[in-house]
Structure 1
């Protein structure tokens, strides 16, 4: 299980391995705008969503969030209800007057009336705190799939194309046969291309922090991935450091 949202009753962190700093700098994935006044939660969500391959910006107030959206846009907004000044419902009404961008609301207010108000105000989904981070990621991906059914879920690097919806892999237009876990491994590597990814990071991302088996499973599936990819080589080993997806130029 991913860590629960911090800053709320019952929150706890269940990751057994730390995020790898090299994975949380930049991304070319879907653009997420986080509007959350709690600095700890805001940073936690920003780092976690970058780790998952999203391009993340954040704001501490509704006014700042509207400015960020006007200047940079977003494919989805993660919005806290309890904002200082105008609350999240007011922000959502202002946003809906401008655009139909998908919105996932976060709140510690879990009454049925609040959930109804959020959805009737134009939210696409509504998640109460505390929550498992993995559930937030799953809901974001689901909402984005509904909004962009033809493009979301396709990860590309060089001549490799991975369709997460159909679980289909192609290289140079040719379909590749592979195990489900091999596909998941390649998706993770393709989201962070041309970066050396340590074995522990890959193990955490693909098998999950709850995995209790040997980390040699990473080497095994890297071998499966290489055979599936064929030539020219795309997946490289840097002895003692990790693995990297990189096109030979």
Structure 2
């Protein structure tokens, strides 16, 4: 099946470049010049991945990304000239899976897209495999070979969330909303404590996966390539 990629950018030259590069690599390209037009395409067309600019008239890339996260289960790459850490943090808070700063190498965009599409296909199941570690999301169990490990609920949900999209950066605030809910009364240090516990529990499984701190942003889970 050919993958359908939605390109959202108000710069016609960027859309033209991406159209050429993506079609050459076998993708079907859908184009929108702003967030509002992109919303219409998402409602009416099959989209497997979105490449989104931030600075657009009307509905900007942050708003569009939040909308995609709310209604669709597809990867999002922000492709933007905004390189400040604050913009990156806002992008990941909005739910983007990756963030690429213009000017960019088309080849890099392609391999990042392919990596994201692989990851999203992997998490369509109720079972996530991280090397020899198997997460059974339905049974709330971790299996390592013949052994079964039962984690406290919040730790299990946190690990499952990170493992659902390996390589994706989650901010602490985003993890609080996803795992503890928006009305949680604690602070972001709660996430740090749970991450520390997970790292301690799986200290001897680093050949399978690691949970990495992204300074100034949050955390991501990385799977070791076999």
TM-score range, shorter chain: 0.5 to 0.7
Map of 1:97 onto structure 2: 70
From the CA coordinates, give the structure whose radius of gyration is larger. 1
- For residues 46 and 93 of structure 2, the distance between their equivalents in structure 1, rounded to whole angstroms, comes to 23
Show the counterpart of 1:72: 45
| Aligned match of 1:57 | 30
Point out where structure 2 has 5 or more consecutive residues left out of the alignment.
125-226
Count the aligned residue pairs.
124
Counterpart CA distance in 1 for 2:17 and 2:102 is 14
Counterpart residue number, 2:7: 34
Quote the residue 2:104 is aligned against.
Answer: 131
Q: Which has the higher contact order (CA 8 A, sep 6+)?
A: 1
Structure with the largest fraction of helix: 2
State TM-score, norm by structure 1.
0.48
CA shift at 1:129, angstroms?
Answer: 0.5
- Segments of 5+ residues of structure 1 without an aligned counterpart are 1-27, 152-249
Mapping 1:168-183, distance limit 5 Å: none
Compare the two structures and name the one with the higher strand fraction.
2
Query: What are the equivalent positions in structure 2 for 1:126-205 lying under 5 Å apart?
Result: 126-149=99-122
- Deviation string 1:63-122 (CA, Å, 9 cap, x unpaired) is 110101110020000000111112100111122221121100011110111111111111
| Distance in 2 (alpha carbons) for counterparts of 1:150 and 1:53 | 23
2:92 to 111, 116, 119: 119
- C-alpha separation in 2, matches of 1:150 and 1:128: 27
